Each structure stands twice: as C-alpha cells, then as structure tokens.
Structure 1
Amino acid sequence: MLDMFLSPWVYSPVIIILAALLALGCTKGYIHMLQLESYQLPGYFRWFKQNDNKLYTATLLVALPAAIVDAAYTFLRNQLPDASAWWGYAVSAVLVVSALIFMSQQKKQPAKKLLVYTARVKRLVAAIVVLEALVLAAATVVMYFYNAPAIFLALRLALYALVLLMPFWVALAAAVMQPIERAIAKKYFKEAQRNILENEALIRIGITGSYGKTSTKFILGTILGEKYRVLVTPSSYNTPMGVTRVIREQLMPDHEVFIAEMGARHVGDIKEMCELVKPMHGLLTSIGPQHLETFGSIENVAATKYELMEALPENGIAIFPDDGAHCTRLYTTTEGLDKALFGVDEGEGRLVWAKDLSFGPEGSRFTLCTQDGQEEECTTQLLGRHNVQNIVGCAAMALKLGLTLQEIAKGIAKVEPVEHRLQLIPGANGVTVIDDAFNANPAGARMAMEVLGQFPGRHIVITPGMVELGEQETKLNRAFGEQMASAADIAILVGEKRTRPIVEGLLAQKFDEDNIKVVANLEEATQLLGTLTRAGDVVLFENDLPDNYNE
C-alpha cells in the first residue's frame, strides 16, 4: 500500500493537491487586506510594500519547508530506496506542521475588522480556485505525457512557487474579476437609481467633506426627524456600492428625506456618487489634508468635494463652512444655487452660528444664533468645538428646509454620540475614557486635544498617529505631538516607526521623556494602561489604525 502511494503517479498528484489547498488557505490574509483597501489594487500593493511582513513570513513557512523536503525526497528515493517510505511521511508531516505554523501566525494577529465573506469575496475565492484548477490540470496532463522524476519535481515546485507568490496570485484573480464586478455593480447601481427616483417628493441630501461626514449626517438626520421621516445611510456607508445597497434594501415609499454620506479617495468619486443619489441639496463639512496619498494635493481634494455642489439642480441648497480658506472660496464662486455660510462664531454673511460655548464631561452647551436675530439655547451630548461646528452646519440646512429654531434645538438635544468619535465612556475605578478612535485627522486631533484639556485630572493619550497624509504625514504627526504636549500628561504611542514624528513633537515642547511610552500594538497599550491609571484620570483613545496599517 505504501509502495503504491510512493509511486510518482500517485504521490505527485497528491502533493500537488495538498500544495494547492495550502495555497488557497494562504489567500485569506491577502483577501482580507484587499477588502480593507476597497478592492483597489494600487492600495493593495501599497499596503504590501509598506506593511506586509508577518503574513508573508507565515506564507513562506508553508511553502519553503514543503518544497525543500519534497525536493530532498525526490532525490533520495532514487539514492536510498530503503528510506523512501520515511521521506514520504516526512513530506506529509512538514506540510501539516507548516499549515499549523501558518494558522498560529494568523491567530497572533487578531483582526480589528474581520474579513466579511460577502458575495464579492466568494466570487474572488472561486476565481482563485479556478486559476489553481487550471494549473493543476496542466500539471496532470504533463505528468502523464512525460514519465520522468525531474518533470514531477518541477511541476510540484511550480505549485510551491504559487504559494510563495500568493500576494500576486490574489491580485491576478482580482484583476481577472474586475470586469465581472463592474458589470454586477452597474446592474445594482441602475436598479438603485430607479428606486430613488420613483419617489418624486423625496428630498435627497448629499454630505461630503474631508472630516466630519459621518457625525454630520447623523446629526442632520436627527434634527430633520423633528419634521420629516428620514433615512440616513448607516455607519460609515459612503461608497457607491454601500449606498446602492442601502437604497435597494432600506429606502421605502414613505420616506420623505434621504441623506447620503459621500466619501472619496480619488478625483471623480463624488461625481459617481451624485450620479447614483441625484442630490437636490448638499452640505460641505470641511476641506483638509485627508487621503493625500491618493488625491496628491489639497486642490484635488477641494475640486472633488465640490463635485457635490456641481451636481445640484438650479436653486438647490448648498451649505458651506466659513473656514476662511478653500470652503469659503468655493462658496464665493458658487452661482445659481441657494447657498449659505455657517460657522461656530459670528461672522459676516453667515446664516447661522453659535456663541457662549462651554464643554464638560456632560457634553456641550451653546446659543444658536441666526442671521435674522433669533437665538435658542442648545445642549448636546457631543463633545468638542468641531462637533458644535457640525451641528451649526446641520442647523443651516434645517432652517433652509423649513424647520423652526425651536424644532432644531429639540433635535440637537436628541443627538447621540457616534461610536468612536469623541464618545464619552465611564471607565472602571473612577477613570473617564474618551473614545475618538475612528479615523483621526489633523483638525479632529487638534480638537480632541482641546476637549481633553478641559477635563480635570491627569490626562493620558493613546494613539498610533495619523495616516494617508501623503508627503505631509511626518510634518502633521510632528505637529500632533506638539499639540499633545500641552494637553497630555502621559503619551502611549502605538507603533515605533510611525510614531517617531510624534515623539519629536513632544520632545520639542519639553515633554517629559519618561512619560512617553512606545508599544508595539493596542493590546500592549491596554496592558500598560492598566498599570498606570488611577482614579480621576482621563484617557483619550485617538485613532485606531485598521489592520492594513499594522507595522
């Protein structure tokens, strides 16, 4: 029985199939990263170049030992026939051990956002299986035409090479599937377009900006809920396929307002979103140095965000923040729309603003003022000046849509903090936690430091810094460190390489070097935190990088 198994005609196909199965198993981590990069191959390869190390090492641990033992077995079975059975067992053992090592490496890196087995992921896996099957079929055909041990070995090593090149194997399958995915997306896109236009009375609002989109859409949805039945895209759904799914599955005939968050990483992304949503009104939250790796310049960011206003119909409502920079300039050059400016403080030409701001552990208080002299006291659970800015922008849109100032104030009081965005969480043992772990940006980080500074007690900041800031990333993270020095007593920095500029900024402001703690990951940061905190401390979690930015 053993001799029959060790025959090349049986042994070689078995080894090839085992290698193919292991190769397929190795794809999970790479498919996960591809999903986190929104299936964009440039972003996937950028991640692989900048961040991949442990995953690829684990892949090598699967393929290299198996290939080495297999080559040794093929050679020695001709030299030492009596030992051939032991080498056959050795090959199987190494394959199993390699697979176990790979799985253990995967478990050591628990994902913050798990791979979601969507229909697209399943199609991608099917494509990988088909491509592997083609290679396996070709190998089988060659083996039965050429009866030579060298041919068997070469074919098996080719399969091992597929494992070693697995990151590119996944990319090839993704590239092959792109035309199919575009066709599927187009079909659903057209269906969603028809659905959203069926209700002619539906008020369609688009919200975009470099920062604050998600918070702003929920604030606006809550305020407009005082008068209308509103559907807001959930969570951080801000891509064409995400919004398409919401329209197809959740939009009902009795909805009166639909609010869509519109995200962008490339020029033209907002234009595509507008082709889907057909917005009647638009609200711009901000323009800043976000996603500069893909946009290239702040001018491209501004042009892309303005695609929302360009898509509005004549006399559509266009709301702009008066930032004295890009947003104000876009407001000034806009014609043919019912436009309005807003800001936190009173300013010339502003439709609505806030005054008498105060912040504390219970939230924020301010007076909402309008251009025609109305005023209304407002309270909210939200923390920070930038959240008040978002509320004021939503108030401007609500006023334009016919709500009274009293209705707006009532809605503001009902607004709940968005998860991981300056969310106040009572901690254990008298420790207060401020969770601002979602997608930190320069403006938001600055505001978070301002909020932290207004709390009593000792201040501890845990952060990995900011990403996707292009050539400005080092400069902006250093500035972040300088700002942190004025608000924090202890800085726990996650990731040695990425946080070096933050350390430089802290030290430039004479921050106590003994109070700078650098750890490898969030798990280590949490463990360290448990040894440092005491009653009365305030802990700020500022940003939490996704898995594709792990060092």
Structure 2
Amino acid sequence: MIFQSLFIVFTFFYLLRTVRNIFYQLFLWQLKEYRWDRMYIHLKTYQGKKLVFGKISLIKWFAIFLWPFFESVGIYYFYYPYFPILIFFIYFTEGTLYLLEARSGFKMPKFTPKTLGVITLTVLILIFSYFNFITFSPFGLTLLLLDKILPLIIASFILIFSVPSLIYKKIIYMRAGLKRKSLPELKVIGITGSFGKTSTKEFLFTLLSSKYKVVKTNDFINTEIGVAKSLLSDVSSKTEFYIAEMAAYKKGEIKLISKIVAPDIGVVTAINEQHLELFGSIENTMKAKYELIESLKNNGIAIFNGNNKYCLTMEKWAKEKGLTTIIYGTNPQTARDLIAYDIKTYPDKLTFKVKKGKEVEAFDVQVLGFHNIENLLAAIALSTIENMKLREISMVAKKIRPFKKTMEPIEGINKSLFINDTFNVNPESVSAAISYLQQFKRKKILILQPMIELGDKTDKLHEKVIEEAVRVCDYIFLTNLNYHVAIMNGARKVEKGEKKVKSGTSEEIVMLLEGLLDPGDVVIFEGKETEKIMKRLLSKNKK
C-alpha cells in the first residue's frame, strides 16, 4: 500500500515536470523566435548554463553515468537497491520546486499549429522511447534518459517543422509582394534602428491619422512574416499610408522586408550595441539597417537621427547614393533640417520647441523621458514631408500618449508610481530610465533584467549602466544572475554602491517591494522578465 502511494506520488511529480518542461522549452523557443543563433547565445548565459548544468541536472547526469560504470566493474548489485531511492529523491525535489513555481504560473507558449504539432509528436516519441528503453534498462534509468533527451526531441521537431514553415512564409511573402504592386498609389514608410522604432511608429501614426488614412504594423510586429501578414490583412485600396516597423538580427532580413513592401521613405532611429552578438560588429548592424535606405527608389527620402554618430555616417552613404536626406536632433551642429531646443522634462510630459527653416513651434506632449524627444522628432520630420505644418503637428501631438510597455505610467501599490518599460531592455533604455528617475525626490527603484546579445561589449555596458544606476537609484533589483560579476564591478565604482544591488526570484522581489514602497516612490520595470513582478504587485492593488 505504501509502495503504491509512493509510486502514485512519483508518477505525478514526473509527469508534472515533463509537462512543465515541454511548455517551458517551447516558450523559450518562441521567445527566441525559433532562431538557433539566439538560442545558442541564451545557453551561454548564467540562465542558459543553469538549464544544462544546474544542481539537479548534474545529479541526473551523475546517476546516468554511474549505472554503466558499476555494471562494467561488476558491482551494479551494490548500486541497484539505492537507485530507485535516488530517482524518487530527484523527481520529488524537482516536482516540489515546480509546484511552488506553479503558484505564480508556468511560462507557457502560445498554442499555435506549430507548437501543438511539436507537443503531440514529442509526447508520442516519449511514449515510444519509453517502451524501447525499458527493454534494456531499469525503470529509473529509462526515466532519466527520457528526461535528458527531451530538449533534443523538441529541438529536432522544431527543425523538422521549419521546412513547412519556410514554405508557408515564402507563399505569404509572394502574396504580400503582389498586393503591394497592385497598390501603386500607396505610400510606404519604413522605420528601423536598434531602438526607438515602435515609439516612432506609434507617434507618427497618431500624427498622420489626423489627416490621412493610415495603417501600421500592430504593436511590436516587425519581422518579415509579421510585416507581410500585416500588409495582406490590414492594407486596402483606400489606405494612403502604410507604416512598417522593420527589425533584423542579421544582414538580409530588412532587405527582404523592403523587397515585399517597397518603401518610399526610410527612417533610421538610432544604432547601438543591441543584438551585437548576432550581428558581429556595429558595422554589420549599420549595414543591416541601411538595407532599408538602399531599397528606396531614386526619388526616395531617407531620414536620420543627428544625435547618433552611426546614423550620421549612414546619412553620408545615402547622399552618395543620390537620395534626399533629412537630419533631425537636438544638436545644432548636426540637426541640419529639424531641431528641438528649450527642452523641459516633467514627471508626466515633455515640453520643447521645434525649428524647421523659418517655422518655429512649441510642443507639449504627454510622454515620459528626454530620450523620447528623438522619437517625436522623427515622427514630426516625417509629418512635415506629408504637407503638415508644425502648428498643425503641435496640436495633434497633444493626443500622443506613451505606447504600452514603453515608459508607460501606472498607479502602483501604496500610491507609488510604476513605469512599465518591459518591452525591451538595452543600454539606451536603461540610461533613459535612470535619467527619468533623477527628477523624483522619493525612493527611486530600478527592477532590471540584465541585457542580452551585446557580444564582447556585454561586461563593459553592464558596468556602465549599473554605475549610473547606483548613483541615482536607492535600490536595484535584478531578475537573474546573468553577468553578475560585471554588474557588481560597476556597482563598486560608487561608494557603498554594491549594497544597493540585490537579486532574487520574482516572489522574493515582490515581497521586498511590498514592504518597501511608500506614497510617491517610483519604480521602473526594465525588460520582459520584470513584467511578471509588476503584474503580481498590481494584482495586490485590486484586492
């Protein structure tokens, strides 16, 4: 009876961890957009290494390799009686940890035909493998082997599914390209850059929509397939402007998007080290983003951020190509065509003046952070091309609000202020968040997901932003231990700076913040991992 009860408990825990791991690994593949290069980079981080070399994982490998060793030296009878106990202990411990994790919710993939197909085939292969392994290995060893080959099974099916997925994408690209050719009067604006793309797109949409029929890529859609589907489903013969946000992780991807949508105007918002590990160098990043400008027709217009030195270099390339170029910014020496000055930042808005030739106009816009000046200027520059005067643009700009998950203000717990900046995290976004916090008198708190895919600049950039953060913030909470040595090196550059930096699980950070926050305190959430913490805190507001 006791044996049967233990077996039921064991089976429950084993099935729980198997289902959870299938879901988690598919979630991770989706997060990395099914890209092998991004998954490889993830596996090099502390989080990635923990998946393979975590304590429980190492115990499993130890148990697997001990079995053939004892068998080969003829003393497996010594190991065998204790083996089931070891297996029960491993999966009981792991199952208990996953039950605790389940309280805040497993990380789940989006259930698409592809993920459902992978799940179904993975389960079938696990069942098939079980009945094959059990014929030549003990029950416990069979379960360990199935456990360790699970990532390989999922990766194999993702590779297999990539073939029909590629065929499907090619068909969508072709259909989207044909539709674009059937709409010669449609004016397409392409927006790319290392950061600032989404905000610029949303600001521009608000401005142009006041006068024209405009369609944009929704939310954060910016890949080849996302843009192609958007063009097919959202654009009609009545559409006057189509705004396409374009992203890339390597050269050739923006070229493909541009081939599909045939842009008339191209904007490069900024270039930095974002995804440097994928591009290989800043030069490659510049060349990849410049594919948008290269795709423009001879009468096309290329717009660049004069505050960014890499954009200024790209503007020279565009002029050599014979394109009309426009430069915007806040620096009088580089912002040749559109400049913002007399800039004032407030907790809930920005005010500034814009000069274009002889036109001068004051702006009052309810977005947060000095960095948004650049995104607003890009949108204003584009609007002036389309026969909108600065006065008209200034009036419409009053309707602009922060886009979701990009410096979005939310009422926090205990009458504190939360800033949701969870969509992305890069060196500029963190620096901008820190700069925004400087204007507050109460406690200033940064919840930070360490940055990824920064290549050989990773340690240097983490040191830099953390040094900035400890000079301004009262507390910094890290969601994981990636690049922790570099982070603490940065913190130690400021006296007692390391005491401000803490790391922990989501649950631990939530508990600390609950007891820490008072009215008027400000918390900025930087990066996707921090959204879970923010949501758990906000859920307590509703109770």
Q: TM-score, normalised by structure 2?
A: 0.82
CA distance in 2, matches of 1:158, 1:100: 18
In structure 1, the partner of 2:274 is 290
**Are 2:352 and 1:366 equivalent residues in the alignment?**
yes
**Are 2:21 and 1:29 equivalent residues in the alignment?**
no
In structure 1, the partner of 2:327 is 341
Alignment partner for residue 175 of structure 1, among 159, 163, 166? 159
**Are 2:336 and 1:355 equivalent residues in the alignment?**
no
**Are 2:114 and 1:120 equivalent residues in the alignment?**
yes
CA distance in 2, matches of 1:483, 1:421: 20
In structure 1, the partner of 2:512 is 528
In structure 2, the partner of 1:6 is none
CA distance change for structure 1 residues 244 and 535 in 2, over 3 Å: closer, same or farther? Answer: same
Determine helix, strand or coil for the equivalent of 2:337.
strand
In structure 1, the partner of 2:384 is 399
Deviation of residue 64 (structure 1)? 10
What are the superposed Cα offsets for residues 59-118 of structure 1, whole Å, 9 maximum, x if unpaired? 89999999999xxxxxxxxx9xxxxxxxxx99x99999799658526626745x641011
Determine helix, strand or coil for the equivalent of 1:455.
coil
CA distance in 2, matches of 1:219, 1:110: 34
**Are 2:369 and 1:389 equivalent residues in the alignment?**
no
What are the superposed Cα offsets for residues 465-502 of structure 1, whole Å, 9 maximum, x if unpaired? 32221111111111112211332233333334534433
The one-letter amino acid of 1:42's match is: D
In structure 2, the partner of 1:470 is 455
In structure 1, the partner of 2:442 is 457
CA distance in 2, matches of 1:446, 1:19: 44
CA distance change for structure 1 residues 385 and 93 in 2, over 3 Å: closer, same or farther? Answer: closer
CA distance in 2, matches of 1:420, 1:123: 31
CA distance in 1, matches of 2:517, 2:89: 47
Matches for 1:102-117 after TM superposition, within 5 Å: 104=99, 107=102, 110=105, 114-117=108-111
CA distance in 2, matches of 1:521, 1:363: 33
Moved more, 251-260 or 97-106: 97-106
Deviation of residue 285 (structure 1)? 0.3
Determine helix, strand or coil for the equivalent of 1:414.
coil
The one-letter amino acid of 1:178's match is: S
The one-letter amino acid of 1:522's match is: S
CA distance change for structure 1 residues 28 and 543 in 2, over 3 Å: closer, same or farther? Answer: closer
Deviation of residue 513 (structure 1)? 4.6
Alignment partner for residue 250 of structure 1, among 223, 231, 234? 234
The one-letter amino acid of 1:524's match is: E
Larger Rg: 1
CA distance in 2, matches of 1:461, 1:518: 11
In structure 2, the partner of 1:323 is 307
**Are 2:406 and 1:411 equivalent residues in the alignment?**
no
Deviation of residue 199 (structure 1)? 2.1
CA distance change for structure 1 residues 155 and 448 in 2, over 3 Å: closer, same or farther? Answer: closer
In structure 1, the partner of 2:171 is 187
What are the superposed Cα offsets for residues 347-392 of structure 1, whole Å, 9 maximum, x if unpaired? 356211111111112211011110x210111111111221011111
CA distance change for structure 1 residues 503 and 195 in 2, over 3 Å: closer, same or farther? Answer: same
In structure 2, the partner of 1:74 is none
Alignment partner for residue 479 of structure 2, among 482, 494, 503? 494
Unmatched runs of 5 consecutive residues or more in structure 1: 1-17, 70-78, 80-88, 141-149
CA distance in 1, matches of 2:14, 2:460: 46
Deviation of residue 271 (structure 1)? 1.1
CA distance in 2, matches of 1:431, 1:100: 37
Deviation of residue 196 (structure 1)? 3.1
What are the superposed Cα offsets for residues 3-34 of structure 1, whole Å, 9 maximum, x if unpaired? xxxxxxxxxxxxxxx99999677422211211
CA distance in 1, matches of 2:414, 2:136: 66
Deviation of residue 177 (structure 1)? 2.0
Report if aligned partners of 2:344, 2:352 keep a CA contact under 8 Å in 1: yes
Deviation of residue 209 (structure 1)? 0.3
Determine helix, strand or coil for the equivalent of 1:417.
coil
In structure 2, the partner of 1:314 is 298
CA distance in 1, matches of 2:283, 2:218: 29
CA distance in 2, matches of 1:124, 1:485: 45
CA distance in 1, matches of 2:269, 2:471: 27
CA distance in 1, matches of 2:90, 2:451: 40
The one-letter amino acid of 1:27's match is: I
Q: TM-score, normalised by structure 1?
A: 0.81
Deviation of residue 534 (structure 1)? 2.2
What are the superposed Cα offsets for residues 168-214 of structure 1, whole Å, 9 maximum, x if unpaired? 11111112222221111111222222233322211111110001111
CA distance change for structure 1 residues 427 and 314 in 2, over 3 Å: closer, same or farther? Answer: same
Moved more, 521-530 or 375-384: 521-530
Matches for 1:436-451 after TM superposition, within 5 Å: 436-451=421-436
CA distance in 1, matches of 2:325, 2:103: 53
CA distance change for structure 1 residues 325 and 93 in 2, over 3 Å: closer, same or farther? Answer: closer
The one-letter amino acid of 2:122's match is: I
In structure 2, the partner of 1:7 is none
Alignment partner for residue 43 of structure 1, among 8, 22, 38? 38
CA distance change for structure 1 residues 546 and 435 in 2, over 3 Å: closer, same or farther? Answer: closer
RMSD: 3.7
Report if aligned partners of 1:464, 1:494 keep a CA contact under 8 Å in 2: yes
CA distance change for structure 1 residues 46 and 546 in 2, over 3 Å: closer, same or farther? Answer: farther
In structure 2, the partner of 1:504 is 489
In structure 1, the partner of 2:250 is 266
Deviation of residue 220 (structure 1)? 0.9
Matches for 1:43-192 after TM superposition, within 5 Å: 43-50=38-45, 51-52=47-48, 53=50, 104=99, 107=102, 110=105, 114-128=108-122, 131=125, 139=132, 151=135, 153=137, 161-192=145-176
CA distance in 1, matches of 2:91, 2:274: 45
Unmatched runs of 5 consecutive residues or more in structure 2: 1-12, 68-76, 78-83, 532-543
